[in-house]
Structure 1
Amino acid sequence: METIAEAAPTRVAGRRRRRRPGYYLVLAGKGLAAAVFIVAALFPLAWMVIAGFKSRKEVIQTPFQFFPEVWKWENYVQILSDPTFVRTLAWTFLGAVLFTALSLTVNSMAAYVFARLEFRFKRALWVIVITTMFIPGMTILLTSYIVVTRMHMLDTLTVLVVPGAASAATVFFIRQFYLSIPSSLEEAAMLDGCGRFGIFVRLFLPLSKPPFVVMGITAFLAYWNSYVWPILTIVSPERFVVQQYLATFRSERTSELGLLMAGSTLAAAPVIILFLIFQRQIIGNIKMAGMK
C-alpha cells in the first residue's frame, strides 16, 4: 500500500507535468510588466541623482544624454557647503518630527474615543469626521489662511505644524486597528482600577506600533513635501521649508541646474531612507488593514 510520503512527490511531479506552455507565458508576461513598472518608477529618480553630477548644459542638452561626460562631484560638495541649505534641511526635519508627533497624538486619541467610548451623537460626529476626507484641501485653503492670519500664526513654525495635524484618514486608519483589540484586555485593566486615559496610555499606545508606523511616515512625508501652504504662510527665508528653498533656488539661480539637481537629490534622501528602513512594516500593516 502506497504511503502518503511516497505519494506526495508523485502528485507534485504530476502537477508540474500538467502545466501548459501558457502558464510560463503568463509568468513571463507578469515578470516583464513588473520590470517595466520598476524602470518607469525609478527612472526619474535615477536621472535626478545622475543630473546632480552634470553641468547646466548637460542637464538641458538635446539630444538627451543620461550620463555626463565629466562627473562634477563638486555639485554635491558645494550644496552641502551652503549653510542656508543645511539649515533649511534641519529646520524642515524639526518641523516634520513635531508634526508627526502631534498628528499621532491627536489622531490616536480621537481614534480611541470613536472606537471604544459610547456617547451621544457619536454616529453623527463620526459621519462628519469621515466626510472631511472627501473635501479637497485646495477648497479650504483661503479660509484656512484667514483663520491663521487672525490668530497671528503667520511666519511661525506653529502655522506649519498645527493646522494640518488633525486628519480624518489617520483617525479612520487607527480606529480600525483599535476595533480589533479584544475588549477583554480593556475590561481586565478596568478591574485593576485603570481609568480610560490610563487604558489608552498603558494598553492601547504600546499596541499601536503597526498603525503608527504607517501613519507616522505618511505625516512625515506630507510635511516634508509640502509647498503650497508654506509659500502662503512663510515669508522669512530662515523659516523656509526645503521645497520653498528649492523653488527659490530655481528662480534665482537658473544657470545652476546641476547644483539644483544635487540639492533635490539630497532633499529626497531622508524620505527614501525612511521608507527603506520601514518598508516591511509599511507593506505588512497596509495588508493587515486591507484584510480588516
Structure 2
Amino acid sequence: MAIAPTIPAIEPAAETRVPTRSRHRRRLTPARAAILALKFVAGAIIVGLALFPLAWMVISGFKLRTEVVRTPFQFFPDVWEVQNYVQILSDPSFVRTLAITGLGAVIFTTGSIMINSMAAYAFARLEFVGKRIVWPLVLMTMFIPGMTILLTSFIVVTKLYMLDTLAVLILPGLASAAHVFFVRQFYLNIPSSLEEAARVDGCGRWGVYFRVFLPLSKAPFVVVGIGSFMAYWNSFVWPVLTITNPDLFQVQQYLANFRGERSSELGLLMAGSALAAAPIIILFLIFQRQIIANIKMAGLK
C-alpha cells in the first residue's frame, strides 16, 4: 500500500513590523528664535509698506475735503463719513464708466485667452513652414516697449476708422507674445498620447484643441485672464489717445479728468479711486492661490 507523502504544515509568517521613524522636534534655540523674529518683523514691514498706499486711499475716501491733505499728517479721520462713496456712486457718469470699462475688459479677456491659446497650440503642437523663423520673431515683440509703437498704432487705427469705438480699445492688444509663450509652455507638457488618442477617435486639429487642450487649460487661463483683465482695466495712455467721446471714457481716463476738473474734492477722488481698484483686488483675492501656484509653469520647459 502506497504511503501518501506528508506535507509539512506551513506556519504563518510572523507579523513584520515596519520600523517607524521617530519624530524629533527641532529645539527652538535662542538663535533660531531670533532669526524667526527678524523674518517676521521684516515680512510685516514689507507688507505694511506695500499696503499703506492702498489703505490710505480707502480711508481717505471717508475723510472730509480738508482732512485729506491736513498738516500735520493724520491717517484716520476725526469723523468717518460715507458721503464721498455715496456721492460718487450716485454719479451716473462714474457708474457708466465702470460698466463700459467692465464690459470692454470682459470682451478683451475672453478674446485674449482664445487668440493667444490658439497661437500657443499652433507653436507647441503643429509643424508648419517657417515655424523656426516665426517663433523667434514673436518672442522679439516682448522686448519692444509699447510707447515706441504708439504713434504707428494710432495711425493704423485712424486709417481703419476705429477712433471713438470700443473696438479700438480691444482689438489692437488682443495678441500678446508673453501670453502665447506662457500657454505654450503649458501645452508642451501635455502628454502626446492624449492627442494621439483623440486623432484615432477621428478628431481633427480643431477637435483636438477644443476637446483635449482647452478643457485642460484652466490653470494657465486663470493667469492669462487676470493679466489681460488688469491690463485693460488699468490702461490710460491708449484710451486718452483714441477716445474723446465721454460715453466711452474708461475708468482711469475718467479719474484723470475728474482730478483736473475737481481737484479740490480729494476725498471724492479717493473714494472713486478705491472703487476703481476694487475689481482687481477682488479678482486677485479669489484667484490668488491659482496665480501663485501656476505662475511657475513658464519655466517648466
TM-score normalised to structure 1 length? 0.94
Aligned counterparts of 1:230 and 1:134: Cα–Cα separation in 2: 22
Report what 1:262 is aligned to. 271
Matched letter for residue 274 of structure 2: T
Report what 2:141 is aligned to. 132
Report what 1:54 is aligned to. 63
Report what 2:196 is aligned to. 187
Aligned counterparts of 2:188 and 2:297: Cα–Cα separation in 1: 13
Aligned counterparts of 1:115 and 1:159: Cα–Cα separation in 2: 30
1:1-292 equivalences in 2 (<5 Å): 4-5=19-20, 8-9=22-23, 12-13=24-25, 16-17=26-27, 20-292=29-301
Deviation at 1:259, TM superposition (A): 0.5
Change (3 A) 1:247 1:22: same
Q: Does the residue aligned with 1:273 lie in a helix, a strand or coil?
A: helix
Aligned counterparts of 2:191 and 2:70: Cα–Cα separation in 1: 62
Change (3 A) 1:284 1:3: closer
Report what 2:3 is aligned to. none
Aligned counterparts of 2:299 and 2:39: Cα–Cα separation in 1: 23
List alignment gaps of at least 5 residues for structure 2: 1-16
Q: How many residues align?
A: 285
Aligned counterparts of 1:239 and 1:130: Cα–Cα separation in 2: 33
Deviation at 1:287, TM superposition (A): 3.3
Matched letter for residue 158 of structure 2: T
Matched letter for residue 259 of structure 2: R
Deviation at 1:20, TM superposition (A): 4.4
- Determine if contact 2:186/2:297 at 8 Å carries over to the other structure: no
Aligned counterparts of 2:300 and 2:159: Cα–Cα separation in 1: 45
Change (3 A) 1:180 1:85: same
Matched letter for residue 4 of structure 1: P
Deviation at 1:265, TM superposition (A): 0.6
Q: Does the residue aligned with 1:53 lie in a helix, a strand or coil?
A: coil
- Determine if contact 2:97/2:250 at 8 Å carries over to the other structure: yes
TM-score normalised to structure 2 length? 0.92
1:79-104 superposed Cα distances (whole Å, 9 cap, x missing partner): 11001100100000000000001101
- Determine if contact 2:186/2:298 at 8 Å carries over to the other structure: yes
Deviation at 1:255, TM superposition (A): 1.5
Q: Does the residue aligned with 1:231 lie in a helix, a strand or coil?
A: helix
Larger relative helix fraction: 1
- Determine if contact 2:185/2:297 at 8 Å carries over to the other structure: no
Runs of 4+ that moved beyond 4 A = none
1:238-261 superposed Cα distances (whole Å, 9 cap, x missing partner): 100000000000100112110010
Matched letter for residue 196 of structure 1: R
* Identity fraction in percent: 69
List alignment gaps of at least 5 residues for structure 1: none
Q: Does the residue aligned with 1:98 lie in a helix, a strand or coil?
A: helix
1:179-208 superposed Cα distances (whole Å, 9 cap, x missing partner): 000000000111111000111011110001
Report what 2:12 is aligned to. none
